[in-house]
Amino acid sequence: MARDQIDAARMSLAAGFGFQAVSTAYYAMLYAARAALSEEDLYAKTHGGTWNLFGQTFVDSGRFDPVLLADARGTQEDRTGTDYEAARPSDERANEIVALAERFVDAVAELVGD
């Protein structure tokens, strides 16, 4: 599902919908984090809970890059802005977030052996 979200984010960028690409890319990362946690039989109810639990489970154990997690988590504000405040990210920022999502999803796939 996370990879499908990345594809959808890329299509949104190509169509000129950077705001949608930001939201979709954020959810790709969130879904990937939740999938990794589910492999450990761990679940969180909220976005913040997912990011915290992911960090405790994978970063604190040295299994995942803390900077990559911080960068991914940092896009939550961008996503909130586009989803709830009608914010329009720059094309550059939208491209950065989609590229980050690709790196994050790839790293999670490697983490879980997918």
pLDDT tens, residue by residue, 52-62: 999 999 999 99
CATH code reported for the domain at 2-112: 1.20.120.330
**Model pLDDT for residues 25-70, shown as the tens digit of each residue:** 999 999 999 999 999 999 999 999 999 999 999 999 999 999 999 9
Q: Which candidate, 11, 16, 22, places its Cα nearest to that of 83?
A: 22
* CA–CA dist 78, 82 (Å, integer): 6
Q: Which amino acid makes up residue 31?
A: Y
- The predicted pLDDT at position 100 comes to 98
pTM of the model: 0.94
Q: Which two tokens stand for residue 2?
A: 């996370």
Q: Name the DSSP letter for residue 37.
A: H
Return phi, psi of residue 31, to 5°: -65, -40
